[in-house]
């Protein structure tokens, strides 16, 4: 198995530099416009600080970024591209959201931090955890979530088994009208999007 390239991810997430992740979707998602996720890595990630919390998982292979999705938040561009924006609600239907996620898998990604950057990356997997799964997601180790996703999603499984370092972002989704309520759900934390970017 290939050893995780810890130094590669560390280049982007150390030194206090702003990190900019750009996803280039196909024309059918966000009208082909670039999806920009910009943040400062940190240990705290209160809304409005422009920071994303950074944590390590899966024996160091996975680096998780927790990114805010609210209006003006660092992950708003991604959330809005996936589900649209209503009044504390999604604008798109669940079918449209799922279609957007499927179309985004494999999209080109670039990452820039100060003088360091890569423009040869890909979004290898992206999923939405619905309201019914949020309570378990928030109350158990993230490794358990990754293991479950690998069982259900061949793209997640392939990424984990590759041994490559994985940059995973976590962005909240908003409530879809008519979708059943569940514990831990609020209008602006009604789902979780997880995207996986391998760093070979």
Instruction: State mean pLDDT over 43-56.
Output: 74
The pLDDT of 32-44, averaged and rounded, is 88
**Side-by-side strand order, sheet with 125-129:** 116-122, 108-113, 19-23, 35-42, 51-57, 62-67, 165-173, 191-199, 125-129
Domains, the chain: 6-199 (2.40.260)
User: Looking at residue 47, what is its pLDDT?
Assistant: 61
Q: Does residue 172 surpass a pLDDT of 70?
A: yes
**Does residue 105 contact residue 178 with C-beta atoms inside 8 Å?**
no
Query: In residues, how long is the chain?
Result: 200
Q: Tell me the average pLDDT across 88-101.
A: 92
If you average pLDDT over residues 45-49, what whole number do you get? Answer: 63
Out of 20-24, 32-36, 115-119, pick the least confident. Answer: 115-119
Closest C-alpha to 108, from 7, 15, 21, 19: 21
pLDDT confidence tier of residue 78, bands split at 50, 70 and 90: very high
pLDDT value at position 187?
A: 87
| pLDDT value of residue 26 | 96
Q: Give dist(CA 19, CA 75) in Å, integer.
A: 12
Q: Give the pLDDT score at 30.
A: 95
Q: Please provide the average confidence, as pLDDT, over all residues in the chain.
A: 87
């Amino acid at each position: 198995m290939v050893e995780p390239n810890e130094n590669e991810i560390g280049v982007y997430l150390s030194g206090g530099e702003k990190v900019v992740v750009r996803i280039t979707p196909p024309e059918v998602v966000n009208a082909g416009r670039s999806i920009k996720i910009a943040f400062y890595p940190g240990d705290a990630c209160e809304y409005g600080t422009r920071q994303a919390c950074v944590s390590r998982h899966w024996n160091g292979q996975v680096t998780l970024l927790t990114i805010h999705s609210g209006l003006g938040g660092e992950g708003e561009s991604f959330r809005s591209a996936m589900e649209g924006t209503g009044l504390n609600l999604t604008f798109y239907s669940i079918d449209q959201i799922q279609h957007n996620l499927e179309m985004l898998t494999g999209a080109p990604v670039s990452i820039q931090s100060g003088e360091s950057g890569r423009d040869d990356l890909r979004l290898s997997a992206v999923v939405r955890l619905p309201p019914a799964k949020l309570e378990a997601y928030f109350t158990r180790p993230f490794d358990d979530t990754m293991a479950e996703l690998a069982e259900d999603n061949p793209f997640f499984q392939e990424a984990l088994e590759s041994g490559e370092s994985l940059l995973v972002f976590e962005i909240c989704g908003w409530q879809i009208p008519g979708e059943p309520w569940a514990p831990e759900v609020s209008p602006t934390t009604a789902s979780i999007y997880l995207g996986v970017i391998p760093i070979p």
